[in-house]
Amino acid sequence: MGMKCDNYSNSPNFCGSLDLWLQFKRHISRSKSPYITLSIQKRSCLSTQPHPDDELRGSTHEAQLTISNADNHSNALIPIHPLYRPPRRDVFANDQKRLYFQRFCEISAAQLTGCLESDLWSRVVLQASETAPCIRHAVTAIGTLNLKGWRDASLSPAGPPHSHQHQNSNLEKKRVQFAYHEYNSAIVGMRQANTGGQTDIRTKLLACLLFACFETYHGNRDVATAQVFAGIEAIDDYNHLRTSSDQWLPPIDEEIVRIFVVLEIQATTYQDRRSRALHLERLNRGKNAVENMPAEFRSLKEARLPMTRIVLRGIHLTMSQREVDHTVHPSIVDLWWITECPSSSLPPSTVSVPISTVDPIYALQCNILSEYKRWETAFAPLLKKARGPKGRSIFHAATLLRIHYLSGVLCLAATTPHPLYYQRCYTRELTEIVDLAHLLLEDTTHSLLGDAYSLDIGIVMPLTVVGYKHRHRALRRRIIETFGKVQRREGIWDVDVTGRVMAWVAEIEETGLDGNEEYVPEERVATIVRMETDLVRRKSTVAVRVREGGVGEMVEKETVIVW
């Protein structure tokens, strides 16, 4: 399965030209510290095509079993040695593997980090790769992928034989095969390490992370979410072992904890079959993590983890209500926005609604909303600095956190059992999210947010909250138009599929609707009840339940989206 570097060096199209490729290779040999990830700005002509050969493709579905079967008692951490040098040359079987590992260090790590401050990819992952071969193989596999042009290959035709397009297509197939070969080596290496009881908690979690990254890049969301939940379970088991063991065990790196909070948000909103009791347990456990929030954040990095934890708590509350009979809770109303808004701005039918302040779900909702308020107050000085004349360097990251805060509040507001209580009450906040997201996307000077792949949460999920949860018609049309133009994937969220599903739902809800209606009327709301993905045929089947024209019995409608 191994490939020699000569297979690629013979192509004049690799990284633009043979000369550039050789120059890049010479730079690697001279480099003493390749982990300064922002120092090189080379244009990559590599692109991806998520169609490996059948032999390698089978390893994808084996990946989800790698971590969950690990020995829970083998948690003695391998000593971490800082990387002040590249890994030894003899750990790479050939120059091709070393080249793509180096490419991850100098290009991919910065792209995965994005505009939010983190040293997860440039420090934590690379340190682990020096001592864990399975992590090194996974890093090499991701270094092979073109994160900036992840859809280029699928959008361009192969062309006739001997043409430039055909040569690129053949090169692309070989490169994808190499990526899957390295990924398969990572899976095999992880399984062997688990069998021998040689895997520490850091290696387990980073393997889950890297496998989820590789799978989401190729659109394999089900396999990716299985990896995420396996990692979450490993974190819970390790933390339980720390509290119950007489032996001192070090805490998990905060960067690893934060990325798994982000991944749990994504996996939970996509596909979560966990019980209501488990969601409430995790919701209450997360409260302890935000109680020590400072009165004022000193950096964006300090502000980021509490924000993601509060968002996750709100999502756990939402998910815990799936099995609840809302006729038992008819008066769960978000008093937060009622006290913030003048009564003249409320829907007439809302003013006379009786309010219950004793419902436990309502109490949890108010508790999380108070955490959002505390976070907003602590974040205000940083946001003010970012919007000032000296804050250009942190403007994008601070703006993104502001978007996450607003969308988290709006998502939590939608926890109430009936759209009447929230759907028409946040026009100002909805507009701010859409305006800020477009501001970031349209800033051509900031290349880390735009047409690219990212494992982290950016603007896709917040805009999805606006379009799906609140149904402001004009804003939803803007989002659909934006999703049709931007080629971006953030973890499991692909703007192409998400935008087309949103457009189909909008067509169902707005057919025959008066143009003067600002929001979709509550009786016309279509609820997504099923979404199935066929990776082989590259299509998604989506079903909704809706009242035709807002009257009559509920009916189910279905469509197929090819991607």
- For range 163-181, the mean pLDDT: 77
Give the lowest-confidence range in 135-139, 285-289, 383-387.
285-289
Give the lowest-confidence range in 183-192, 204-213, 443-452.
443-452
Give the lowest-confidence range in 41-50, 322-331, 498-507, 513-522.
41-50
pLDDT at res. 76: 40
pLDDT at res. 405: 97
Separation CA 397–CA 303 (nearest Å)? 11
Residues 34-71: pLDDT tens digits? 332 222 233 333 333 333 334 333 444 444 444 444 44
- For range 316-324, the mean pLDDT: 80
Q: Which of 400-409, 412-421, 448-457, 493-502 has the highest mean pLDDT?
A: 400-409
In the chain, % of residues over pLDDT 70 = 71
Q: What does DSSP assign to residue 519?
A: B
pLDDT at res. 419: 58
Separation CA 361–CA 408 (nearest Å)? 17
DSSP string, 310-334: HHHHHHHHHHHTTT--TTS-TT---
Query: Quick one: which H or E segment has residue 529?
Result: strand 527-534
Q: Which two tokens stand for residue 225?
A: 């979410």
- Looking at residue 375, its amino acid is W
By CB atoms closer than 10 A (0-12, 13-18, 19+), residue 349 is: exposed
Looking at the predicted structure, is the pLDDT value of residue 5 above 70?
Answer: no
Looking at the predicted structure, is the pLDDT value of residue 346 above 50?
Answer: no
In the block, tokens 């095509």 appear at 49
Looking at the predicted structure, is the pLDDT value of residue 156 above 50?
Answer: no
pLDDT at res. 140: 96
pLDDT at res. 516: 86
- For range 480-494, the mean pLDDT: 88
343/307: higher pLDDT? 307
Model confidence at 421, pLDDT cuts 50, 70, 90, reads low
- For range 18-40, the mean pLDDT: 34
Please provide the average confidence, as pLDDT, over all residues in the chain: 77
How far does Cα 276 stand from its chain's mean position? 23
- For range 83-93, the mean pLDDT: 65
pLDDT at res. 223: 92
pLDDT at res. 285: 84
Closest to 137 measured CA to CA, from 184, 85, 203, 71: 184
Distances (CA, A) of 244 to 69, 237, 240, 241: 22, 11, 6, 5
Helix 133-144 to helix 164-195 angle, to the nearest 10 degrees? 160
Give the lowest-confidence range in 25-39, 74-88, 347-361, 418-432.
25-39
Model confidence at 551, pLDDT cuts 50, 70, 90, reads confident
pLDDT at res. 284: 86
pLDDT at res. 47: 35
